[in-house]
Amino acid sequence: MRYIIPASVMLIALVALIANAGRVGRNWCRVLSHGAAPTVFTACYSAFAVAVIAIAVIVRLPAVQLPRPVAAGGYAGLAALLFFVVAANLAALLLWLGRLVRLLPTPLPRPAALTALALTGALVVGLTTYGTVHAATLQNRSYDLAVSGPASSADNLDIALISDTHLGAILGADFIGRVVDRVNALHPDVVLIAGDVFDGDFGALSDPEAVRAQFARLDAPDGVFACLGNHDAGPGAAEMTALLEAAGVTVLRDEAVQVKDRFIVAGRRDSSPIGDTADSPRQPLPAWTASQSGLPVIVLDHQPGNIGEYGAPVDLIVCGHTHGGQIFPGNLIVKALYAAAYGYYQASEEAPRVVTTSGAGTWGPPVRIASDSEVVQLRLTIEH
């Protein structure tokens, strides 16, 4: 109930901004042409806005499968719409201020309207194109960390970390195949998957068997381990876990395993799943937090907001969830919300180290600006 009022206010504000952007564009067209241009613009803008919003809603309906180009195009169009809304409203504000301080005459002259419309259009096309290409380009990120361990443990541990692949209506087997290729090229000892493997609806996958086959190609001598994220829930939640396990991925749900005499890896249930998980809710910290083995302890917890739950003997926490903000200014917002919003973080010398990845995939629009789609390599030096 506490979220209804803020969500309603945000929705009303968004609708008002979309409508005002349309009004601004129509006014610019009216300055440029007294013919049918303003009416044509309004009709095209309204149809486009309704179409992309409708596609975004339909994609989220359980067990509804739109053709992938339609779903991806609809979400890319939604990003373009939002870019236009921001750019048009900002340009209108600047033009209003220009007239207020008498830098521009009233009514708005034709050259100013033409410049505003051209710059807004170029900005929308440029940002949408760049963001779409950038989101589809996987980056490698690496961190060198040192943790303590007994003489019986290995000297080094090479970890590949991925998260937030959001497999569903837009991202499927071909995408996860590229991620697997990038992971295997690192030749890791162990692969960790920090949640949000799926996008909230197993039925949206066009070819689950092909997805399973791609996960089965992950090659790591010490195994592949995953925790579940808030989107690994909803229709088909049980099938999501079953697919991963059938591919040889060990899904850890508030449990831990010791891998040979090298390290302990633990995984947590998500703290706020969206929809049914076909599983028990998150449990209190289990007995492994009091482990006396001395082996390095690595925890998979999807949401970095939970890192305050951990202390000794946890050495490393790996998270996802934030996407690094995905689209500017989201990167600034997640930094304000989370201490470990992205990258490496350690609250104090005694606290566990934290690495939060921005993830390999995207949620909603397949667009990234001021964040990267990434595969992370963690090189752990274990000091005896």
Strand partners, 224: 191
Q: How many other CB atoms are found less than 10 A from the CB of residue 324? A: 24
Most confident region among 31-45, 77-91, 277-291 by mean pLDDT: 77-91
Q: Are 268 and 288 in contact (CB under 8 A)?
A: no
**Euclidean distance between CA atoms 232 and 239, whole angstroms:** 10
Please report the pLDDT score of residue 109 as a whole number: 87
Distances (CA, A) of 270 to 185, 274, 296, 300, 379: 29, 10, 23, 10, 26
Task: List, for residues 189-208, the tens digit of each pLDDT value.
Answer: 999 999 999 999 999 999 99
For residue 111, pLDDT beyond 80: yes
Mean pLDDT of 37-55: 95
**Euclidean distance between CA atoms 382 and 384, whole angstroms:** 6
Among 179-188, 253-262, 359-368, which is the least confidently predicted range?
Answer: 253-262
Please report the pLDDT score of residue 51 as a whole number: 96
Please report the pLDDT score of residue 291 as a whole number: 59
Question: 3-state SS of 161-219?
Answer: EECCCCECCCECHHHHHHHHHHHHCCCCCEEEEECCCECCCHHHCCCHHHHHHHHHCCC
Please report the pLDDT score of residue 289 as a whole number: 56
Please report the pLDDT score of residue 288 as a whole number: 57
For residue 177, pLDDT beyond 80: yes
HSE-up of residue 350 (Cα within 13 Å, Cβ side): 3
For residue 121, pLDDT beyond 60: yes
**Euclidean distance between CA atoms 158 and 144, whole angstroms:** 10
Superfamily name and number for 140-383: Metallo-dependent phosphatases (3.60.21.10)
Q: Which of 208, 207, 202, 194 is nearest to 165 (CA)?
A: 194
Of 306 and 34, more confident: 306
**Euclidean distance between CA atoms 217 and 146, whole angstroms:** 29
Strand order in the sheet with 250-251: 138-148, 373-383, 156-162, 190-194, 224-227, 250-251
**Euclidean distance between CA atoms 269 and 300, whole angstroms:** 9
* Reported confidence tier of residue 278, pLDDT bands at 50, 70, 90: confident
Q: Please list the residue range(s) of the chain that carry CATH number 3.60.21.10.
A: 140-383
Q: What is the largest CA-CA distance in the chain?
A: 82
Q: Which of 130, 48, 40, 94 is nearest to 328 (CA)?
A: 130
For residue 154, pLDDT beyond 70: no
Task: List, for residues 319-359, the tens digit of each pLDDT value.
Answer: 999 999 999 999 999 999 999 999 999 999 989 999 999 99
Please report the pLDDT score of residue 279 as a whole number: 81
% the chain with pLDDT above 70 = 96
For residue 151, pLDDT beyond 80: no
Q: Which of 188, 172, 125, 163 is nearest to 379 (CA)?
A: 188
Q: Can you list the positions of beta strands (E) in 260-315?
A: 263-267, 297-300
Distances (CA, A) of 119 to 150, 278, 285, 324, 336: 61, 50, 54, 28, 31
